[in-house]
Chain A
Amino acid sequence: DTAVSQTPKYLVTQMGNDKSIKCEQNLGHDTMYWYKQDSKKFLKIMFSYNNKELIINETVPNRFSPKSPDKAHLNLHINSLELGDSAVYFCASSQDLRQGKGSNLFFGSGTQLSVL
């Protein structure tokens, strides 16, 4: 059983389109995240949710909208896709918000988004 699964694995789309990435975790964790990894491998947090409540919302264009229907799911919808959105998007989860107290991150395998 995959602990954190996200779909699709690859997403190729045209500029201006709207797309969604889905994420599910079966670890019973309370907190979920979206990270963006650019071509230089730099990992940047985008959002975090704790028990369906938005906790972290970094400086991300409002074209990106996360939705958490329940604490096991966190989806990412992107409107009006731009070339600069091309990256690998990772979903992650942790037991709770206490990332500094042994509540380590478990990452999905990523969604490679290519905007043409």
Chain B
Amino acid sequence: QQQVKQSPQSLIVQKGGISIINCAYENTAFDYFPWYQQFPGKGPALLIAIRPDVSEKKEGRFTISFNKSAKQFSLHIMDSQPGDSATYFCAATGTASKLTFGTGTRLQVTL
């Protein structure tokens, strides 16, 4: 019930392409879905987050799409850049519960 499944495990995208990372959850009590970005040697940092009352949230080149009925959400990185190369974690939580992280996606953006 607490799991968040994330795919793919790794992703290679050419510069300028679209990177898509998918996550699925089981717990219908989850009501907050953040994405964290982690560069090598650093801790994860909040990238963007969404609540289930909206189906999409965009911040610059980063967009979260949310499908409440399917219990799925995804991160789209438009015009991917080499500087976007990092590990991305989706996460989910509900009121008074701890954050549950996905298993992470290593993104490599090639020139």
The digit string for A72-111, where 1 denotes a CB below 8 A from any CB of B, is 0000000000000000001010000111111011111110
CA distance A84 to B22 in the complex (A): 30
Are A110 and B42 also in contact (CB < 8 A) when A43-B104, A100-B32, A104-B34 are? Answer: yes
Please tell me if the beta carbons of A109 and B99 are within 8 angstroms of each other in the complex: no
Question: B21 → chain A, closest Cβ, in Å?
Answer: 13
Residues of B with C-beta under 8 A to A99:
32, 93, 97-99
Residues of A with C-beta under 8 A to B101:
42-43
Q: Using a Cβ cutoff of 8 Å, how many contacts connect chains A and B?
A: 61
Please tell me if the beta carbons of A42 and B34 are within 8 angstroms of each other in the complex: no
Closest residue of chain B to A107, judged by CB?
B43
Residues of A with C-beta under 8 A to B30:
100
Please tell me if the beta carbons of A104 and B46 are within 8 angstroms of each other in the complex: yes
Total number of B residues with any Cβ neighbor in A under 8 Å: 26
CA distance A102 to B41 in the complex (A): 26
CA distance A43 to B37 in the complex (A): 12
Question: B92 → chain A, closest Cβ, in Å?
Answer: 9
The digit string for A24-42, where 1 denotes a CB below 8 A from any CB of B, is 0000000000000000111
Residues of B that sit less than 8 Å from A by CB: 30-32, 34, 36, 38, 41-46, 49, 87, 89, 93-99, 101, 103-104, 106
- Nearest 10 CB-CB pairings of A with B: A107-B43, A100-B32, A100-B93, A41-B104, A43-B101, A104-B46, A99-B99, A99-B93, A90-B43, A107-B44
